[in-house]
A and B are shown apart, each in its own frame.
Chain A
């Protein structure tokens, strides 16, 4: 069974709307369809403005989709309600400190999902919090402290613990380590891997760091300008990229032993969301673009073992 199925998910924001004028629709997410398999880690990469945060907020019910359908563990969610979503799918935020209320103790923060989502009594709550804290390697004495007393890595563990407290089986990890120092990053990534094994979790791992995504994911999905451009197995997608954008990303990442050279592209500006181009949004930057690219937006098609890309002129090999 699939943990998550998304069909034609679209989000249109109205900009420039006022009392008298009708706003213009800007599509932040342009019809995404994908599955997340039970127990897998699906990595999501893309640069700023690609729609990954909007997608994530829709998946947890914080933002109602404009079109399309979200199915969580076989159940269709027709209404964006964080309360209902929260028991099935939880969110770990990028900035661990600002995701914790500065005026509440860690115990109060941890208790909320247990009380509000599961209606647990006090004794039961305390027991559960101790269990969760033990599994994220935090000591119980932290419970009486306030968020500002913690380092970034510890605060992120608390954020993960809160997500676990809701007992959801799917976690959306939105850049969970990008605010952390590299030595702490590895601790948190390893913890996430252990928790996944222990509780049988499914992860959507959003990051801009290709190396981190490759290290933790089973499959990777590449987003560009609000749409999926490529999705495939993590060990193949960067090595044998089909879509020129994926290749551009992979070639741009700084790697020890590779000489410094900005990869070729024709232009480097993202398309204007207020005035989206006809055809493939990447065509203007793409060195492989042909005439068809400027007229028809390519659909996601299978181009290898479990490997899909949306491109008219995929890279061979």
Chain B
């Protein structure tokens, strides 16, 4: 709740709206207690008194009634009617929307077509028709305005409900023995409520305007009762001679509607969960770099990370996602990075080309040297030149990395033309060639497919083709086969392996699967809590892991051909990278850990072509894993 108000008042205009609206609402609430003359007493002798006349602060109207008093009572009425209409419309509209969205199928179809019909009438015409049928009067106007706004709620809420009705927790509720009505009330409604509140806060102002409109036409409040619309209507005749009688209610309508709309927008933004996660704040094109130490001298390797540190600053917390990683990869080599979620393996990969979302991401130390040139300090233009050209990425889910509305061929052509001028025809021929090189059958025809017309395996091949488009030196593949079926995975891995040999590519392959690493990678780095805990040639590490984490991680993954067995689970959870323990991050879960492990930093100790971040590697190496 406190956070809600914080978010709300961060938006200055919404805060202003809230203040203005609260003043108006308070005044309206206390109107009966204020020392105001009776709003309906006429005094024809005092007609059209200007504002600031004695006894009439805002003057009088065409019957000599006190304008201030009428304004306050009218505001009170207009606010009440608007709010009531919003409540009625929200209640009926949301009920219709939830029922239609939840039941789906034919019920949904029939209900929503009826709602569509209601929407096909211009709203004012519909309101007029309703008032004409029911007769003029404020209550009938209220019903008319509510009825006109039902479709808005019904459609909005139905959309949200359809998304919720297929969620797994609804299935779970069914299996827990809940009936449809119970599911709607206890499972769906709590999730829809914020949307209803948002929809109401953005429509109340509109409904107050509509009620005023009907009263202005003489179909709402009847004389002598004052509401803002009827005051305007009565003042219309004297618009030129005594403009204050129109301006006073006009300003009030303006203030009310404006403040409600500003506040409504603020409420919507504050409740919207996407805002909290920062999804609507657009990240910069390259990660912010704020190095706290002098960067190391670039190395001669093709691509080398040198003590790279990337952090996320959220609120007052600092997440050390990458805490000093050094890696290198050369031509024709495949380096595996293995780790669990939160180990920093993806952030490491994204840091290479400055692709970590900023804010909140920040590179705070170290260097990325590519062909002897530091990329961390490089300008955005330099990075853009290299991205997709010299260093290309392949991500996990090709469905979300390929654009759904463009043909795959056009996307390939775009990837090429982003880096070099190329005639359309030549680019297209090259696109077909690329698709052939990733073994897509009928490439000449497939080039005109949209991503949704392809299977998951085919889409991932397109992503690989796109990564190859500019013949890069390095490909960084972030779990490219995790979302694929096992038979397709085998094909994609074979393809990557062949391409690397044919083209002398350097591949950085990120995965959580030891089997994949064993088959594809020459060297492997194991990451835990943002740091490398062990690194070396794949075969050596798999044969004789020396870090307890590597060893236990391998033991808890079943391998095909092992038969039915108990797995040796690692107790506990990986640490959160905003609260890393002192010393070795794995110590709390490690059965070799001693007091010395929990003090001071432990270095990644090199030993020949291997390196391990552990004080007792020999002990680890000699002991069998037991639970």
A: residues with CB less than 8 A from B are 47-48, 57, 60-62, 82-83, 85-87, 90-91, 93-95, 98-104, 112-113, 116-117, 151, 153, 159, 162, 166, 181-187, 189-190, 193, 208-212, 214-218, 234-235, 238-239, 248-263, 265, 268-270
Contact = CB atoms under 8 A, between A and B. Distances in A.
A93 B172 contact: yes
A101 B490 contact: no
A116 B175 CA distance: 10
B169 A186 contact: no
Interface of B: 167-169, 171-179, 182, 186-187, 190-191, 340-341, 455-457, 485-491, 493-494, 497, 512-516, 518-520, 542, 552-553, 556-571, 573-574, 627
Contact of A256 (B171, B341, B559): B559
A189 B557 CA distance: 11
Contacts, number: 201
Contacts of A187: 569-571
Given A181-B340, A256-B518, A48 B491 contact: no
Contact of B562 (A90, A100, A215, A265): A215
Nearest to B488: A268
Contacts of A60: 175
A99 B513 CA distance: 26
Nearest to A187: B569
A260 B561 contact: no
A253 B563 contact: no
Nearest to B167: A98
A254 B175 contact: no
Contacts of A190: 566-567, 569, 627
Contact of A100 (B169, B455, B520, B574): B169
A86 B168 contact: no
A101 B187 contact: yes
A270 to B, nearest CB: 8
Given A98-B169, A116-B177, A208-B486, A256 B514 contact: yes
A248 B487 contact: yes
A166 B182 CA distance: 17
B167 A234 contact: no
Contacts of A214: 558, 560-564
A238 B563 CA distance: 10
Contacts of B190: 101, 103-104
Nearest to B538: A256
Contacts of A260: 493-494, 497, 519-520
A216 B564 contact: yes
B457 A268 contact: yes
Nearest to B549: A183
B557 A182 contact: yes
A95 B514 CA distance: 23
B565 to A, nearest CB: 6
B176 A259 contact: no
Contacts of A263: 487, 490
Contacts of B486: 47, 208-210, 249, 252-253
Nearest to B178: A116
A159 B168 CA distance: 11
A254 B573 contact: no
Contact of A112 (B171, B178, B566, B627): B178
Contact of B559 (A83, A162, A255, A259): A255
B440 to A, nearest CB: 11
Nearest to B566: A190
Contact of A262 (B178, B491, B512, B553): B491
15 contacts: A47-B485, A86-B177, A91-B171, A94-B168, A99-B168, A99-B172, A190-B567, A193-B566, A217-B564, A253-B515, A254-B490, A254-B493, A256-B515, A262-B490, A268-B491
A130 to B, nearest CB: 18
Contacts of A184: 569, 573
B456 A183 contact: no
Contact of B175 (A91, A182, A265, A270): A91
B485 A183 contact: no
B172 A91 contact: yes
Given A249-B486, A265-B487, 19 more contacts: A82-B175, A83-B174, A93-B171, A101-B169, A101-B191, A116-B176, A159-B172, A186-B557, A189-B567, A193-B566, A208-B485, A210-B486, A210-B560, A249-B487, A251-B490, A254-B518, A262-B494, A263-B487, A268-B491
Contacts of B488: 47, 268
Contact of A186 (B172, B179, B568): B568
Contacts of B627: 190
A117 B176 contact: yes
Nearest to B494: A262
A240 to B, nearest CB: 12
A259 B563 contact: no
A129 to B, nearest CB: 13
Nearest to B542: A256
Contact of B567 (A100, A186, A209, A249): A186
A183 B488 CA distance: 25
Contacts of A262: 490-491, 493-494
Contacts of A265: 487
B413 to A, nearest CB: 25
B92 to A, nearest CB: 23
Given A102-B191, A162-B172, A183 B167 contact: no
Contacts of A256: 514-515, 518, 542, 559
A257 B520 CA distance: 11
Contacts of B182: 116
Nearest to B563: A235
A86 B190 CA distance: 24
A263 B487 CA distance: 8
Contact of A259 (B519, B569, B574): B519
A83 B520 CA distance: 49
A269 B486 CA distance: 14
Nearest to B339: A181
A254 B519 contact: yes
B194 to A, nearest CB: 9
B588 to A, nearest CB: 13
B560 A250 contact: yes
A104 B571 CA distance: 28
From B169, B187, B542, B560, residue with most partner A Cβ within 10 Å: B560
A166 B175 contact: yes
Contacts of A86: 174-177
Residue of B487, B491, B553, B563 ringed by the most chain A CB atoms within 10 A: B487
A265 B558 CA distance: 26
Given A187-B569, A189-B567, A254-B516, A90 B490 contact: no
Contacts of B178: 112, 116
Nearest to B576: A151
B464 to A, nearest CB: 14
A187 B456 CA distance: 30
Contacts of A253: 486, 490, 515, 560
Looking at B173, B175, B456, which has the most chain A CB atoms within 10 Å of its CB?
B175
A95, A113, A218 interface centre (most CB from chain B within 10 Å): A113
Contacts of B168: 93-95, 98-99
B559 A182 contact: no
A183 B570 contact: yes
Nearest to A114: B176
Contacts of B490: 251-254, 261-263
Contacts of B340: 181-183
A181 B217 CA distance: 66
Contact of B174 (A62, A95, A211): A62
Contacts of B497: 260
Of the candidates A151, A166, A215, the one having the most CB atoms from chain B within 10 angstroms of its own CB is A215
Nearest to B497: A260
A268 B487 contact: yes
A235 B562 CA distance: 8
A261 B487 CA distance: 11
